[in-house]
Amino acid sequence: YEDLHTFELQAPTRVIEWARGNRVCVAGYGQSGGNEILQLLPPPTLQAKETQGLCPERDFKVECGGFSNRPVYSLKYVPDTSLLVTSGPPDSSLQVWQVSAEDSDVIKSVSAIPAEDGTGQPWARIATVSTRAPWVLHGSRLNNVQITEVESRKNVYMAASRNSEELSGLAFLDCNTLLLCCAKGQLCLADIRQPQRPLEAVSVPSAPCGERWCMGVGRGPQGSDSSSRPVACLSSGGHLTLTDIRKTSESMASAKCRVPSPSSGAEFLCISWAPALEGCLAISGFDGTVHVYDARSWDSSDREAEPIFVHKGHAFGRLGSSGSPPLVTTHAWHPQKPRTVLSAASDGSLHVWDWVQSCGKC
Amino acid sequence: LSFFCLGPGAGQDVGRSCILVSIAGKNVMLDCGMHMGYNDDRRFPDFSYITQNGRLTDFLDCVIISHFHLDHCGALPYFSEMVGYDGPIYMTHPTKAICPILLEDYRKITVDKKGETNFFTSQMIKDCMKKVVAVHLHQTVQVDEELEIKAYYAGHVLGAAMFQIKVGCESVVYTGDYNMTPDRHLGAAWIDKCRPDLLISESTYATTIRDSKRCRERDFLKKVHETVERGGKVLIPVFALGRAQELCILLETFWERMNLKAPIYFSTGLTEKANHYYKLFITWTNQKIRKTFVQRNMFEFKHIKAFDRAFADNPGPMVVFATPGMLHAGQSLQIFRKWAGNEKNMVIMPGYCVQGTVGHKILSGQRKLEMEGRQILEVKMQVEYMSFSAHADAKGIMQLIRQAEPRNVLLVHGEAKKMEFLKQKIEQEFHVSCYMPANGETTTIFTNPSIPVDISLGLLKRETAIGLLPDVKKPKLMHGTLIMKDNSFRLVSPEQALKELGLAEHQLRFTCRVHIQDPRKEHETVLRVYNHLKGVLKDYSVQHLPDGSITVESILIQATAHSEDQGTKVLLVSWTYQDEELGSYLTALLKKGLPQSTS
What letter does residue B298 receive in the DSSP assignment? T
Residues A239, A205 contacting (CB under 8 angstroms): yes
pLDDT per residue over B153-184, tens digit each?
A: 998 888 999 999 999 889 999 999 999 988 87
| Residues of B in Cβ contact (< 8 Å) with A106 | 420-421, 424
B209 CA: distance to closest CA in chain A (Å): 5
Q: Answer yes or no: is pLDDT of A277 > 70.
A: yes
Q: Is residue B204 domain-shared with residue B262, that is, in the same domain? A: no
User: Whole-angstrom Cα distance, residue B415 to residue A234?
Assistant: 45
Amino acid at B406: P
Q: Is residue B271 domain-shared with residue B326, that is, in the same domain? A: yes
Residue B444 lies in a domain: no
**Does A362 reach chain B within 8 Å, measured CB to CB?**
no
User: Whole-angstrom Cα distance, residue A268 to residue A73?
Assistant: 10
The residue among A32, A46, A105 with the most chain B CBs within 10 A of its CB, best to mutate, is A105
Residue B284 lies in a domain: yes
Q: Round the average pLDDT of chain B to a whole number and report it.
A: 84
Q: Which residue of B has its CA nearest to A36?
A: B425
Q: Could you give the count of Cα atoms lying within 13 Å of B485 in the half-sphere of its Cβ?
A: 9
Contact A59 B211 (CB under 8 A): yes
The yes/no answer to whether this complex scores an ipTM above 0.95 is no
Which residue, of B385, B414, B445, is where some domain finishes? B385
Q: In this structure, what CATH number is given to the domain that contains residue B535? A: 3.30.310
Backbone angles phi, psi at A236, to 5 degrees: -70, -10
User: Using CB atoms, which residue from B214, B220, B428 is nearest to A54?
Assistant: B220
pLDDT per residue over A65-120, tens digit each?
A: 999 999 999 999 998 889 999 999 888 899 999 998 677 789 999 999 888 776 67
H or E segment at B332? helix B330-339
Q: Is residue B186 domain-shared with residue B284, that is, in the same domain? A: no
A positions 257-276 inside 8 Å of B (CB): none
Residue B52 lies in a domain: yes
Q: Is residue B24 domain-shared with residue B65, that is, in the same domain? A: yes
Q: Is residue B204 domain-shared with residue B312, that is, in the same domain? A: no
| Residues of B in Cβ contact (< 8 Å) with A8 | 209, 212, 395
pLDDT per residue over B290-301, tens digit each?
A: 666 555 565 677
Q: Is residue B26 domain-shared with residue B110, that is, in the same domain? A: yes
Residues A40, A25 contacting (CB under 8 angstroms): yes
Contact B222 A106 (CB under 8 A): no
pLDDT at residue B410 in the model: 92
Q: Answer yes or no: is pLDDT of A208 > 80.
A: no
H or E segment at B463? helix B457-465
pLDDT at residue B65 in the model: 96
Sheet holding B304-306, edge to edge: B304-306, B264-266, B318-322, B233-237, B346-349, B382-385
Q: Answer yes or no: is pLDDT of B437 > 50.
A: yes
Decide if B202 is catalytic.
yes
User: Whole-angstrom Cα distance, residue B261 to residue B228?
Assistant: 10
pLDDT at residue A4 in the model: 86
Q: Is residue B36 domain-shared with residue B54, that is, in the same domain? A: yes
Report how many domains make up chain B: 4
Q: Is residue B138 domain-shared with residue B239, that is, in the same domain? A: no
**Whole domain around residue B257: which residue ranges?**
213-385
Sign, CA torsion B420/A48/B250/B102? negative
From B170, B202, B246, B252, active-site residue? B202
Percent pLDDT > 90 in chain A is 34
Residue B597 lies in a domain: no
The stretch A132-156 carries a mean pLDDT of: 88
Q: In this structure, what CATH number is given to the domain that contains residue B397? A: 3.60.15.10
What letter does residue B82 receive in the DSSP assignment? I
pLDDT per residue over A242-260, tens digit each?
A: 887 776 666 678 888 887 7
Q: Is residue B366 domain-shared with residue B478, that is, in the same domain? A: no
B42-46 contacts, C-beta under 8 A, 24 or more apart: B42/B8, B43/B16, B43/B74, B43/B75, B44/B75, B44/B78, B44/B79, B45/B6, B45/B7, B45/B8, B45/B16, B45/B18, B45/B75, B45/B79, B46/B6, B46/B7, B46/B8, B46/B9
Residues B85, B124 contacting (CB under 8 angstroms): no
Q: Answer yes or no: is pLDDT of B83 > 50.
A: yes
Comparing C-alpha atoms, which of B21, B141, B17 is closest to residue B79?
A: B17
Which residue has better confidence, B231 or B450? B231
A136 CA: distance to closest CA in chain B (Å): 27
User: Whole-angstrom Cα distance, residue B336 to residue B479?
Assistant: 78
Q: Is residue B35 domain-shared with residue B129, that is, in the same domain? A: yes
User: Using CB atoms, which residue from A6, A9, A59 is nearest to B208?
Assistant: A59
**DSSP output for B212-267:** PHHHHHHHHHHHHHHHHHTT-EEEEE--SSSHHHHHHHHHHHHHHHHT--S-EEE-
Residue B598 lies in a domain: no
pLDDT at residue B12 in the model: 45
pLDDT per residue over A299-335, tens digit each?
A: 877 788 889 999 998 988 877 777 788 899 999 999 9
Residue B421 lies in a domain: yes
What are the CA-CA distances from residue B130 to residues B119, B126, B134 (Å)?
A: 19, 6, 11
Q: Is residue B9 domain-shared with residue B31, that is, in the same domain? A: yes
Could you tell me whether strands B346-349 and B233-237 are parallel, antiparallel, or unpaired per DSSP bridges? parallel
**Does A11 reach chain B within 8 Å, measured CB to CB?**
no
pTM to 2 decimals? 0.78
Q: Is residue B567 domain-shared with residue B555, that is, in the same domain? A: yes
Residue B326 lies in a domain: yes
Contact A40 B215 (CB under 8 A): no
Q: Round the average pLDDT of chain A to a whole number and report it.
A: 85
pLDDT per residue over B214-271, tens digit each?
A: 888 888 899 999 999 999 999 998 876 767 778 888 898 899 999 998 999 887 656 5
Residue B310 lies in a domain: yes
B207 CA: distance to closest CA in chain A (Å): 5
Contact B212 A40 (CB under 8 A): no
